[in-house]
């Protein structure tokens, strides 16, 4: 079996993945994917594991069939994303940090290809080798360039195996490196000029496509070459618009994280309400009642709210054997919301002093009373 053998079964994973801190979506939701595939009578695009309709149910959930909702958002976004993946253009998910772009790209890849691990993590030091292929230098020196000496990177694997490749934070890569996607996306071919004969061209199998993500706080997609932009369908992922939905999501996600951390006390709903409201107000600069207020420059995303709720639960449980309280919340907020920014810390302090004191309810009062726990 060569490194490029498309029959290589990527589903045969080492058992360690089952015990991973965060197994990939196709492992976490293996039962759901199997059930959806078994009952899927709808037409599928060539090379896809599921039909578009089954993939949509996998992502948005179907309570009647026991399928959990994994992404909260506009269903039409999912439809457009799936259709884009069935075309000959890639899919670019853009948006604020922490709006679940990476999660969505993982779920899409798991639904379409049964595998979300063909992932390139973009960064300032990303090279073409990490995207396309590199060489096993011992074999290269011994035998010269041959398919045996080739070490395929995610793009080559995705093309050879007909699977979706994820390119995270693509705009953080140097522009010339981003451009190595041009011919794989437009001509669906990757040249390996070092190899002789037919091996010098890898033609993408059906099912191959690319999902890229880019966040609006990093170097923007504006700098991306026009040639590459043209080869992607852009979709913007927005923060969750309403408080109730965001609260429900944070409660479910934090509850799951706490269970996995061995905490048996579920997060307290009244405290989560304060947490999610605080995040939303500091994110938007508008109170839930509609008054203008200062916003923070730090990212106050849903993803950050989930991790603060997790940390609050951990503090309460491992320090005192109970679910976290308002003092834990204030202590955890400083690290997420203010980080190392003195201005943000001052804004957060003013928020706790001025806004929180006006709210009614025992939890708001308790948060106000714990404001001295902010450092500095
Ligand atoms: N609309 C949403 N649906 C489901 N989960 C969400 C949503 N928004 C935020 N989350 C939470 O955020 C987490 C995913 O964040 P993710 O890392 O995918 O965001 P991101 O947009 O890729 O952020 P970044 O730009 O920083 O890479 C999820 O695990 C979930 O807890
Ligand atoms: Mg991401």
Q: Are residues 91 and 184 in the same domain?
A: yes
Q: Are residues 198 and 319 in the same domain?
A: no
- Last residue in a domain, options 208, 236, 264: 236
Q: Are residues 159 and 303 in the same domain?
A: no
Q: How far is residue 205 from each of residues 46, 151, 156, 157, 184, measured CA to CA in Å?
A: 9, 19, 11, 10, 11
- Last residue in a domain, options 236, 263, 297: 236
What percent of the chain has pLDDT above 70?
A: 94
CA nearest to 253, candidates 54, 100, 58: 100
Q: Are residues 123 and 208 in the same domain?
A: yes
Assigned token pair, 92? 């670019």
Task: With beta carbons less than 8 A apart as the criterion, state whether 334 and 322 touch.
Answer: no
Q: Count the domains in the chain.
A: 2
3-state helix, strand, coil in the chain (%, to 5): 50, 10, 35
What average pLDDT does the chain have? 92
Query: How far is 130 from 155, CA to CA, in rounded Å?
Result: 9
Query: How far is 6 from 225, CA to CA, in rounded Å?
Result: 32
Alpha carbon nearest to ligand 1 atom 13, residue? 303
Q: Are residues 247 and 369 in the same domain?
A: yes
pLDDT of 6 above 80: no
From the alpha carbon of 96, which atom of ligand 1 is closest? 25
Q: Which residues pair with 93 in a beta bridge?
A: 213, 235
Any idea which ligand is nearest the CA of 28? Answer: 1
pLDDT of 80 above 80: yes
3-state secondary structure of 8: coil
Q: Are residues 298 and 264 in the same domain?
A: yes
Torsion of CA 278, 280, 281, 283, to 10 degrees: 120
Task: With beta carbons less than 8 A apart as the criterion, state whether 280 and 243 touch.
Answer: yes
Q: Tell me, what CATH number does 117's domain have? A: 3.40.50.300
Query: How far is 330 from 41, CA to CA, in rounded Å?
Result: 51
Query: How far is 22 from 13, CA to CA, in rounded Å?
Result: 14
Alpha carbon nearest to ligand 1 atom 2, residue? 72
pLDDT band (50, 70, 90) for residue 251:
very high
Ligand 1 centroid–CA 313 distance in Å is: 20
Q: Are residues 223 and 281 in the same domain?
A: no
Any idea which ligand is nearest the CA of 215? Answer: 1
With the most atoms of ligand 1 within 8 angstroms of its CB, the residue from 93, 103, 212, 283 to mutate is: 103
Identify the domain containing residue 366 by its residue range: 243-373
Task: With beta carbons less than 8 A apart as the criterion, state whether 297 and 343 touch.
Answer: yes
pLDDT of 19 above 80: no
pLDDT band (50, 70, 90) for residue 340:
confident
Q: Model confidence over 307-326: pLDDT tens digits?
A: 999 999 999 999 999 999 99
Q: Model confidence over 174-221: pLDDT tens digits?
A: 999 999 999 999 999 999 999 999 999 999 999 999 999 999 877 667
What pLDDT does 15 receive? 62
Q: Are residues 231 and 254 in the same domain?
A: no
Pairing relation of β-strands 232-236 and 133-135? Answer: unpaired
Task: With beta carbons less than 8 A apart as the criterion, state whether 312 and 328 touch.
Answer: yes
Q: Ligand 1: residues within 6 Å at CB?
A: 71-73, 97-103, 213, 215, 240, 249, 253, 302-303, 306
Task: With beta carbons less than 8 A apart as the criterion, state whether 337 and 282 touch.
Answer: yes
What percent of the chain has pLDDT above 90?
A: 85
What pLDDT does 375 receive? 82
Query: How far is 366 from 12, CA to CA, in rounded Å?
Result: 51
Ligand 1 centroid–CA 103 distance in Å is: 6
Q: What is the pTM of this model?
A: 0.92
Q: Which residues surround ligand 2, an ion (CB under 5 A)?
A: 102
What one-character DSSP code corresponds to residue 337? Answer: I
Ligand 2 centroid–CA 41 distance in Å is: 33
Q: Are residues 213 and 291 in the same domain?
A: no
Query: What is the chain's length?
Result: 376
What pLDDT does 3 receive? 47
Q: Are residues 231 and 264 in the same domain?
A: no
* DSSP E strands, the chain: 90-95, 119-121, 133-135, 150-152, 164-168, 189-191, 201-203, 209-215, 232-236
Other Cβ atoms closer than 10 A to 72: 16
Ligand 1 centroid–CA 268 distance in Å is: 22
Q: Are residues 275 and 165 in the same domain?
A: no
Q: Are residues 256 and 122 in the same domain?
A: no
Ligand 2 centroid–CA 92 distance in Å is: 12
- Last residue in a domain, options 236, 255, 276: 236
pLDDT of 2 above 80: no
Alpha carbon nearest to ligand 1 atom 1, residue? 72
């Amino acid at each position: 079996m060569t490194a490029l053998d498309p029959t290589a079964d990527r589903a045969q994973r080492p058992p360690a993945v089952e015990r991973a801190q965060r197994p990939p979506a196709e492992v976490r939701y293996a039962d759901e994917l199997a059930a959806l595939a078994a009952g899927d009578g709808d037409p599928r695009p060539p090379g896809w594991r599921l039909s578009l309709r089954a993939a949509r149910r996998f992502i948005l959930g179907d309570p009647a069939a026991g399928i959990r909702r994994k992404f909260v958002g506009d269903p039409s976004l999912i439809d457009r994303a799936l259709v884009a993946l069935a075309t000959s253009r890639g899919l670019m998910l853009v948006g604020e940090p922490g709006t679940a772009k990476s999660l969505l790209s993982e779920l899409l890849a798991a639904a379409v290809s049964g595998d979300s691990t063909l992932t390139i993590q973009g960064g300032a030091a990303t090279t073409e080798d990490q995207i396309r292929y590199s060489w096993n230098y011992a074999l290269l020196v011994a035998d010269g360039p041959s398919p045996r000496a080739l070490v395929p990177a995610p793009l080559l694997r995705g093309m050879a195996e007909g699977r979706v490749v994820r390119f995270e934070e693509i705009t953080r890569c140097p522009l010339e490196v981003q451009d190595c996607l041009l011919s794989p996306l437009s001509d669906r071919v990757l040249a390996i000029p070092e190899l002789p004969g037919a091996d010098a061209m890898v033609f993408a199998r059906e099912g191959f496509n690319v999902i890229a993500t880019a966040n609006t706080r990093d170097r923007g997609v504006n700098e991306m070459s026009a040639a590459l932009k043209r080869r992607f369908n852009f979709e913007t992922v927005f923060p969750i618009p309403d408080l109730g939905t965001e609260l429900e999501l944070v409660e479910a996600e934090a509850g799951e994280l706490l269970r996995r951390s061995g905490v048996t006390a579920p997060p307290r709903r009244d405290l989560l309400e304060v947490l999610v409201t605080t995040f939303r107000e500091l994110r938007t600069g508008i109170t839930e009642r509609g008054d203008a207020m200062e916003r923070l420059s730090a990212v106050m995303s849903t993803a950050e709210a989930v991790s603060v709720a997790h940390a609050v639960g951990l503090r309460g449980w491992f320090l005192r054997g109970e679910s976290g309280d308002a003092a834990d919340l204030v202590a955890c907020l400083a690290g997420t919301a203010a980080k190392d920014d003195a201005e943000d810390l001052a804004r957060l302090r003013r928020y706790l002093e001025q806004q929180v004191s006006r709210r009614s309810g025992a939890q708001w009062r308790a948060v106000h009373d714990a404001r001295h726990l902010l450092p500095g």
